[in-house]
Chain A
Amino acid sequence: MTDLLRIEDLAVEYKTRRGTARGVDNVSLNLEENKTLGLAGESGCGKSTLGRSIMRLVPYPGKIVNGKIDLLLHEDIVFPKGVIEKGFVNIMDLNEEELRALRGKEIAYIFQDPMTSLNPMITVETHFQEIMKAHDPDIKKEEALDRAQEILDGLGISPERITDYPHQFSGGMRQRVMIGLGLALRPKLLIADEPTTSLDVIVEAQILEEMAELKELFNLTMILITHNLGVLAQTADDIAIMYSGRIMELSPTEALFEDPLHPYTQALLESVPDVSKPDKKLSWIPGAPPDLVDPIPGCMYNPRCKHTMDICKTTQPGLIMNDEERLVACHLFGGEK
């Protein structure tokens, strides 16, 4: 299989009054086509920053300070002011116009809170009209409407409701509308940033299932961001565990749940309830989350780790591949950088 996305040495900094925080610190990863990558970790570890970097939409005052983000295009992207040629493009090299042509067309992003992600002043139809018009200025209104209604229908929303305003829908319905908007132009890559975190458990399960179906239907490659590892067990092919802006472990889902390598992954899994093991004792991770503005030397996880060694306090471990082709950044597995 070919890679759709290759991220290399990505670093994002937030300059704040208190100092500079590295929201994403030297992240490299490859994502194969038609796979789902789960991105997990405690809140504040840089998941959203990483996800939004891929669209070059890091929130103010964040800035991408280093790295390459290569995206594979199967076809030329033609937009009113130019063309992006097919093949790998480095998203970091694109100008505003080119980025705009990619956003929504090749890459779609779904946000955490569907209650606030739609413009309250315009109807659902207008949302669809706008995105279609933005990427195809010549599209006819009726055609856009037809396509929008078809998409909504596929998501279980009655097409007549397209003239409703966002506030007339429930949270789950709104998230379906967001998904519909995301898929309206058949993007290759879908980044879903905690898409179900603000929904209740039943709706969450429904939406996750629908997303899995849509992924098959549209041949999507997906990045599913969550702080809830449980969500990823069913949906992700691979899981990347993040801590303090870095990837600590990247393993196939099954392997990660069976045999977590990194002590942080192990601790995370111990805090996830498991229906098949009702006797499992849940624990939490002691200690405070890392301070990204004032990073400590060595491995950022060392103050909370059960296996801290001397080297952990001085040297930051690099991400290395073990013999099962799994990636881990921990001195227990050798590998220095």
Chain B
Amino acid sequence: MTIPMIMLLLTFVFVIVRILPGDPALLHFERNVSPETLAEFREALGLDVPLLNQYFNYLGGIPFGDFGLSMQDFTPVSEHIQIRFPATLELTIYSMLYAVLLGLALGVKSAKNYDSVQDHGIRMFSIVTYAIPVFFLGMILQSIFSIYLGWLPTGTRFDPHYSTPATITGMYTIDSILTGNLTALIVSARYLILPTITLGTILCGIFIRLTRTNMLETLRQDFVVAAEARGLSANKIEYTYALRNAFLPILTMIGLQFAALLAGAVLTETTFSWPGLGTYLVQRIAHRDYTALQGVVVFFGILVAMVTLILDILYAYLDPRIRL
């Protein structure tokens, strides 16, 4: 299921990039360029062969992590992805964690105090955060905490006055922990706070509402009342009974939101000048670097497909009614 999906996406992106107006070779150069230079350029990028051959060459490279060469500087797109992706992944993981934890906590609180002032307040919060545009919240937080109060840095992902931790995963906080570099951990964490809160807050609304609805639904179920009738404690019932059952649909939502997060990364990363794949994509679009564009989109696609697959497996593992 996953493989045909990725194939379809690959083909789609390949075709779209080809039918976009403008010859990438011509676009790359200034006005007057000799036909020889153009031909050389095309050959270097493998654009001199028929379209079908280009397609198969491209397809053939992907399993080996070969996304072609950038039209900008003739370096492999995969190298750029390798450098940029950890930044995106790091932000994504923390935002998701923040959104899910906050969403679960507030959703459970809301459901437990159904129809109270707290419940209404939390619901309002979830609707408002869901509706705020990323760049708007990002700019507000930046002006308050970074520009006005000066508490938190913004603009990149690391302070140039310090040295970055040795690269293992490329995610600075993780690498700092793995290498026991406390300074780097603090520095990188400070840079992560604002973008994480921005992205996480916007995401958490949907998790609040989903948790609340599912909790309310589960708390009404017979097995919850039956557990109360056996004298189990409220905590036990809320967490191992209601939340565990309510969690499965939330897991599905995590998968869906992961895809949305990657798409959202373009906006967040631009707002915070976060040097991830999102900003890379924006830069390359400006330069009509179609191979880079194609590479990043396909890479995102593969990633989303993989996350979906992992979540499906996790789902089956968590729900005893599904056996693999």
B201 to chain A, nearest CB (A): 30
B241 to chain A, nearest CB (A): 6
Identify which of A20-28, A95-103, A287-295 touches chain B: A95-103
Mark each residue of chain B from 237 to 249: 1 if its CB lies under 8 Å from any CB of chain A, else 0: 0001100110000
Identify which of B119-127, B183-191, B217-225, B268-276 touches chain A: B217-225
B319 to chain A, nearest CB (A): 7
Q: Contact: B223 with A120, CB < 8 Å?
A: yes
Q: Which residues of B contact A55 (CB under 8 A)?
A: 229
Interface centre among A101, A117, A135, A167 (most CB of B within 10 A): A117
B216 to chain A, nearest CB (A): 10
Q: Which residues of A contact B223 (CB under 8 A)?
A: 116-120
Q: Contact: B222 with A120, CB < 8 Å?
A: no
> At the interface, is chain B mostly helix, strand, loop or mixed?
helix
Q: Contact: B221 with A116, CB < 8 Å?
A: yes
In the assembled complex, the Cα of A122 lies from the Cα of B223 at a distance in Å of 11
Q: Which residues of A contact B226 (CB under 8 A)?
A: 109, 111, 117-118, 178
Given contacts A121-B319, A165-B320, A165-B321, contact A113 B222 (CB under 8 A): yes
Which residues of A (124-143) have their CB < 8 Å from a CB of B? 130-131, 134-135
Which residues of B (180-235) have their CB < 8 Å from a CB of A? 221-223, 225-234
A243 to chain B, nearest CB (A): 25
A104 at the interface (CB under 8 A from B): yes
Given contacts A131-B231, A134-B231, contact A117 B222 (CB under 8 A): yes
Interface centre among A105, A119, A131 (most CB of B within 10 A): A119
Q: Which residues of A contact B244 (CB under 8 A)?
A: 121
CB closest chain-B residue, reference A119: B223
Instruction: Say which residue of B221, B229, B321 sits within 8 Å of A109 (CB atoms).
Output: B229
A72 at the interface (CB under 8 A from B): no
- For chain A, the count of residues having a C-beta within 8 Å of the partner chain is 31
Q: Which residues of B contact A87 (CB under 8 A)?
A: none
A250 at the interface (CB under 8 A from B): no
Q: Which residues of A contact B320 (CB under 8 A)?
A: 120-121, 123, 165, 167
B236 at the interface (CB under 8 A from A): yes
A116 to chain B, nearest CB (A): 4
Interface centre among B226, B236, B245 (most CB of A within 10 A): B226
B242 to chain A, nearest CB (A): 10
A31 at the interface (CB under 8 A from B): no
Q: Which residues of B contact A103 (CB under 8 A)?
A: 228-231
Q: Which residues of B contact A119 (CB under 8 A)?
A: 223, 227, 240-241, 245
CB closest chain-B residue, reference A105: B231
Q: Contact: A130 with B229, CB < 8 Å?
A: no
A181 at the interface (CB under 8 A from B): yes
A156 at the interface (CB under 8 A from B): no
Q: Which residues of A contact B225 (CB under 8 A)?
A: 57, 59, 111
Given contacts A116-B223, A117-B222, contact A108 B229 (CB under 8 A): yes
Given contacts A117-B222, A119-B245, contact A135 B227 (CB under 8 A): no
CB closest chain-B residue, reference A168: B320
A50 to chain B, nearest CB (A): 15
Instruction: Say which residue of B229, B318, B319 sits within 8 Å of A104 (CB atoms).
Output: B229
In the assembled complex, the Cα of A21 lies from the Cα of B228 at a distance in Å of 24
Q: Contact: B232 with A120, CB < 8 Å?
A: no
Q: Which residues of A contact B232 (CB under 8 A)?
A: 100, 104, 130-131, 134
Which residues of B (8-63) have their CB < 8 Å from a CB of A? none
B139 to chain A, nearest CB (A): 43
CB closest chain-B residue, reference A178: B226
In the assembled complex, the Cα of A116 lies from the Cα of B227 at a distance in Å of 12
In the assembled complex, the Cα of A116 lies from the Cα of B222 at a distance in Å of 6
Given contacts A116-B222, A167-B321, contact A134 B230 (CB under 8 A): yes
Which residues of B (259-308) have their CB < 8 Å from a CB of A? none
Q: Contact: A104 with B230, CB < 8 Å?
A: yes
Q: Contact: B230 with A120, CB < 8 Å?
A: no
Q: Which residues of A contact B236 (CB under 8 A)?
A: 130, 134
Q: Which residues of B contact A182 (CB under 8 A)?
A: 230
In the assembled complex, the Cα of A130 lies from the Cα of B241 at a distance in Å of 11
CB closest chain-B residue, reference A126: B240
In the assembled complex, the Cα of A165 lies from the Cα of B322 at a distance in Å of 11
Given contacts A116-B222, A121-B245, contact A181 B230 (CB under 8 A): yes
CB closest chain-B residue, reference A116: B222
Q: Which residues of B contact A134 (CB under 8 A)?
A: 230-233, 236
In the assembled complex, the Cα of A130 lies from the Cα of B240 at a distance in Å of 11
In the assembled complex, the Cα of A119 lies from the Cα of B240 at a distance in Å of 9
Mark each residue of chain A from 141 to 179: 1 if its CB lies under 8 Å from any CB of chain B, else 0: 000000000000000000000000101000000000010
Known: A55-B229, A122-B240, A135-B231; 9 extra A-B contacts, CB below 8 A, are A103-B230, A104-B231, A111-B226, A113-B222, A116-B222, A118-B223, A118-B226, A119-B245, A123-B320
Which 6 A-B pairs rank lowest in CB-CB distance, beginning with the nearest?
A104-B231, A104-B230, A103-B231, A109-B229, A116-B222, A165-B320
Question: 20 A-B Cβ contacts within 8 A?
Answer: A57-B229, A59-B225, A100-B232, A103-B228, A103-B231, A108-B229, A116-B221, A116-B222, A119-B227, A119-B241, A119-B245, A121-B244, A121-B245, A121-B318, A121-B319, A123-B320, A131-B231, A134-B232, A165-B320, A167-B321
